[in-house]
Amino acid sequence: MDVTKILAELREERQQIEEAIVSLERLARGRVRRRGRPPAWMSEMTATVKRRGRPPGSKNKTQAAAGGTAPKAVA
């Protein structure tokens, strides 16, 4: 077995483990509600989740969308 190859693989694993630990520590710190603006890395994560507009299945539907007849204009 090549010792240098094993050492290189172990160093790569150590780097991956350290990155996982850092990300878990960030998540643990982010659980507590704090005052002020969230850090940039956290706002990047939540920016993809935000949706605008009416949520699906909302009760405030228009009559045409609900299956009713639309009112007719009389001149």
Q: What is the mean pLDDT of each run of 10 residues along the chain (75 residues)?
A: 92 95 86 74 64 72 58 63
pTM of the model: 0.39
Element (H, E) at 4: helix 3-30
Residue 70 · residue 64 · CB < 8 Å: yes
Question: Taking CA 33 as the corner, what is the angle to CA 29 and CA 34, rounded to the nearest 5 degrees?
Answer: 85
* Residue 45 identity (one-letter amino acid): M
Helices first, then strands: H and E counts in the chain: 3, 0
Alpha-carbon span 13 to 5, nearest angstrom: 13
pLDDT at site 65: 56
Domain boundaries, the chain: 1-31
